[in-house]
Structure 1
Amino acid sequence: MQNPPLEKPIQLGTVFRLWLPLAGSWLLMGVELPLFTAFVARMADPEINLAAYGSVAFPISLVIEGPVIMLLAAATALCSDWRSYRKVHRFMTVLSAILTAVHIAIAFTPLFELVVHTLLDVPEEVVEPARLGLQIMTPWTWAIAYRRMHQGVLIRFERSQWVMLGTLVRLAVLLAVLVTGFAFKLGPGIAVGAGAVAAAVTAEAIFIRVISAPILRDRLRPAPDLGKVKSWGAFLSFYVPLAMTPLLTLIIQPAGTAAMSRMPAELASLAAWPAVHSLVFLTRSSGFAFNEVVVALLGREGGARALRRFGLLLAAVTMAVLLILGWTPLAGWWFGRVSGLNPELSRLSSQALLFAFLMPGYQAMQSWYQGILVHRHRTRGITEGVLLYLVVALAGLSVAVAWGRFPGIFAALVAFSTGGVLQTLWLRHRAAPILAELPDSIDSSKS
Structure 2
Amino acid sequence: MKLLSRPKPEKSQEHKTTSASITKVYWPLALSWFFMAWEGQLAMWLIGLMPDNKIYQAGFLIVFGIAIFIESPVIDLLSTGTTLGTTKKRFEQITRFTLILMTWVTVAHCIVVFTPPIYTFVAETLLGARPEVATAAWYGLAWMPVWSACVGWRRYRQGIMIRAGRTGPISWGTLVRIVAMMISGLALYVSGTMIGLGVIGLSFTIAVFAEALYIHIVSKPVIAELTETDPTNIDNLTLSQLAKFHFPLTASTMLMLTAPVLMTRALNEGPEPIIAMAAWQVSSTVVWLFRTITFALPEAVIALYKPGRERYLGSFCIKVGGGITLTMLAVHAFQFDLYVFRAIFKSEPLVADRAATAFLWCSFLPLLNALMAYYRGVLTSHHITSARLYAIIIALAALAITLTLGLRIGILTVVLAAAALTLSHLVELATLAIAWHRSRHLASPTT
Q: Same fold (TM over 0.5)?
A: yes
Match runs of 1:240-279 below 5 Å:
240-279=247-286
**Structure 1's 316 and 108: CA in aligned 2 closer, same or farther, altered over 3 A?**
same
Report deviation, 1:8: 8.9
Once the two structures are superposed, residues 8-66 of structure 1 have per-residue CA deviations (whole angstroms, 9 ceiling, x without a partner) of: 96332321231110000001111111110011111122111121122x11100111111
Which residue pairs with 2:129 in the alignment? 122
Which residue pairs with 1:409 in the alignment? 414
Letter in 2 for 1:420: H
**Structure 1's 191 and 230: CA in aligned 2 closer, same or farther, altered over 3 A?**
closer
2:305 and 2:138 map into 1 onto residues whose CA distance is 44
Q: Which one of 15, 25, 34 corresponds to residue 27 of structure 1?
A: 34
Report deviation, 1:118: 1.7
Which residue pairs with 2:429 in the alignment? 424
Report deviation, 1:116: 1.7
2:137 and 2:374 map into 1 onto residues whose CA distance is 36
Secondary structure at the aligned position of 1:203 is classed as: helix
Report deviation, 1:136: 1.0
1:205 and 1:222 map into 2 onto residues whose CA distance is 27
1:317 equivalent in alignment to 2:323: yes
1:359 and 1:263 map into 2 onto residues whose CA distance is 23
**Structure 1's 279 and 312: CA in aligned 2 closer, same or farther, altered over 3 A?**
same
Q: Which moved more, 1:33-42 or 1:406-415?
A: 406-415
1:82 touches 1:225 (CA, 8 Å); kept in 2? no
Q: Which one of 62, 78, 102 corresponds to residue 96 of structure 1?
A: 102
1:68 touches 1:96 (CA, 8 Å); kept in 2? yes
Report deviation, 1:343: 2.0
1:370 equivalent in alignment to 2:376: yes
1:108 equivalent in alignment to 2:117: no
1:284 touches 1:359 (CA, 8 Å); kept in 2? yes
Structure 1, gaps ≥5 residues long: 1-5, 440-447
Match runs of 1:180-329 below 5 Å:
180-221=187-228, 226-227=233-234, 230-299=237-306, 303-329=309-335
Secondary structure at the aligned position of 1:188 is classed as: coil
Which residue pairs with 1:3 in the alignment? none
**Structure 1's 145 and 309: CA in aligned 2 closer, same or farther, altered over 3 A?**
same
Report deviation, 1:176: 0.3
Letter in 1 for 2:253: P
2:331 and 2:405 map into 1 onto residues whose CA distance is 29
Which residue pairs with 1:74 in the alignment? 80
2:128 and 2:382 map into 1 onto residues whose CA distance is 42
**Structure 1's 223 and 115: CA in aligned 2 closer, same or farther, altered over 3 A?**
same
1:189 and 1:13 map into 2 onto residues whose CA distance is 46
Secondary structure at the aligned position of 1:333 is classed as: helix
Report deviation, 1:286: 1.6
Letter in 2 for 1:187: M
Report deviation, 1:170: 0.4
1:221 and 1:42 map into 2 onto residues whose CA distance is 53
Once the two structures are superposed, residues 162-184 of structure 1 have per-residue CA deviations (whole angstroms, 9 ceiling, x without a partner) of: 11111011001000012112222
1:260 touches 1:409 (CA, 8 Å); kept in 2? yes
1:99 touches 1:141 (CA, 8 Å); kept in 2? yes
Structure 2, gaps ≥5 residues long: 1-12
1:373 and 1:228 map into 2 onto residues whose CA distance is 22
Letter in 1 for 2:249: L
Q: Which one of 137, 146, 152 corresponds to residue 139 of structure 1?
A: 146
Once the two structures are superposed, residues 189-217 of structure 1 have per-residue CA deviations (whole angstroms, 9 ceiling, x without a partner) of: 20111111111111111111111011122
**Structure 1's 173 and 225: CA in aligned 2 closer, same or farther, altered over 3 A?**
farther
Once the two structures are superposed, residues 377-396 of structure 1 have per-residue CA deviations (whole angstroms, 9 ceiling, x without a partner) of: 01111101011111111111
Letter in 2 for 1:58: F
Which residue pairs with 1:348 in the alignment? 354
1:222 and 1:378 map into 2 onto residues whose CA distance is 24
1:87 equivalent in alignment to 2:93: yes
1:270 and 1:229 map into 2 onto residues whose CA distance is 48
Secondary structure at the aligned position of 2:50 is classed as: coil
1:332 equivalent in alignment to 2:338: yes
1:64 touches 1:99 (CA, 8 Å); kept in 2? yes
1:421 and 1:228 map into 2 onto residues whose CA distance is 38
Identity %: 25
Once the two structures are superposed, residues 79-123 of structure 1 have per-residue CA deviations (whole angstroms, 9 ceiling, x without a partner) of: 001121111111111112112111101100121111122212211
1:81 and 1:341 map into 2 onto residues whose CA distance is 51
Which residue pairs with 1:148 in the alignment? 155
1:82 and 1:276 map into 2 onto residues whose CA distance is 44
**Structure 1's 436 and 224: CA in aligned 2 closer, same or farther, altered over 3 A?**
closer
1:35 and 1:438 map into 2 onto residues whose CA distance is 46
1:249 and 1:111 map into 2 onto residues whose CA distance is 22
**Structure 1's 172 and 222: CA in aligned 2 closer, same or farther, altered over 3 A?**
farther
**Structure 1's 419 and 127: CA in aligned 2 closer, same or farther, altered over 3 A?**
same
Letter in 2 for 1:80: T
2:15 touches 2:312 (CA, 8 Å); kept in 1? no
1:229 touches 1:235 (CA, 8 Å); kept in 2? no
Letter in 2 for 1:234: Q
1:60 equivalent in alignment to 2:66: yes
Once the two structures are superposed, residues 123-163 of structure 1 have per-residue CA deviations (whole angstroms, 9 ceiling, x without a partner) of: 12112111111111111110111010000011011111111
Q: Which one of 392, 395, 405 corresponds to residue 401 of structure 2?
A: 395
2:403 and 2:194 map into 1 onto residues whose CA distance is 35
Secondary structure at the aligned position of 1:261 is classed as: helix
Letter in 2 for 1:430: A
Which residue pairs with 2:5 in the alignment? none
Q: What is the aligned-residue RMSD (CA, Å)? A: 2.0
1:384 equivalent in alignment to 2:387: no
1:71 touches 1:145 (CA, 8 Å); kept in 2? yes
**Structure 1's 176 and 86: CA in aligned 2 closer, same or farther, altered over 3 A?**
same
